[in-house]
Amino acid sequence: MTTNSASAGYFPDPAVAYADAPSIIQEIGWVTAAAANCGDGGGIGREFWLRKAAVVDRIALHEVAVYAPEVAITAVQTAEATVLKFIEYEVAHSGLSLKGAELVTAEDRFGYVREQYHVWSHAQLH
């Protein structure tokens, strides 16, 4: 289920969105295993794209906090590309409208991933 608060202007802070997330190492392992188990990619679904977008976002946030911009740029670019893949999945499968969601800027797109991960992770705990 997609919950879209973009029009309300609320996106959780990364610390809130990822508070219950497994370690980055664990998430990389899950994403890698999920990709390997899908073979030709036909079975890759929302959970895969959401978790992959979230983990690369977390990696980029760490890189930006620790390293100079010219060092962190590769992680940021990878995160941007992966977040776009998740949003493309949402548009194709959930009826998300980029115009309606106002996911115009990179900040909006990262915010949307954080929001969706936060909702998803809380659903997993209950």
Q: Can you read off the two tokens belonging to residue 91?
A: 């548009």
Q: Which of 118, 9, 52 is nearest to 60 (CA)?
A: 52
- The residue length of the chain stands at 126
- Cα–Cα distance measured from residue 13 to residue 110, given in angstroms and rounded to the nearest whole number: 10
Token pair listed for 77: 């670019």
Tokens of 54: 């979230």
Q: Would you say residue 6 lies in a domain?
A: no
- pTM for this prediction: 0.84
Give the whole-angstrom CA distance, residue 96 versus residue 6: 11
Check residue 11 and report its DSSP letter: -
Instruction: pLDDT tens for the chain, 126 residues: list them.
Output: 344 444 445 788 999 999 999 999 999 999 999 999 876 556 789 999 999 999 999 999 999 999 999 999 999 999 999 999 999 898 888 877 666 556 667 788 899 999 999 999 988 865
Confirm whether 51 is domain-assigned.
yes
Is 121 inside a domain boundary? yes
* 54 inside domain: yes
Closest among 28, 48, 29, 52 to 38, alpha carbons compared: 48
Residue 45 domain boundaries: 13-125
In degrees and rounded to multiples of 5, residue 4 shows phi and psi of: -120, 110
pLDDT value, residue 39? 65
| Structural domains of the chain, count | 1
Asked if the structure places residue 4 within a domain, the reply is no
Residue 73 in domain: yes
DSSP 15: H
Residue 64 lies in a domain: yes
Q: What is the pLDDT of residue 6?
A: 44
Tokens linked to 60:
């980029």
Residue 11 has a pLDDT of 83
In a domain, residue 52? The reply is: yes
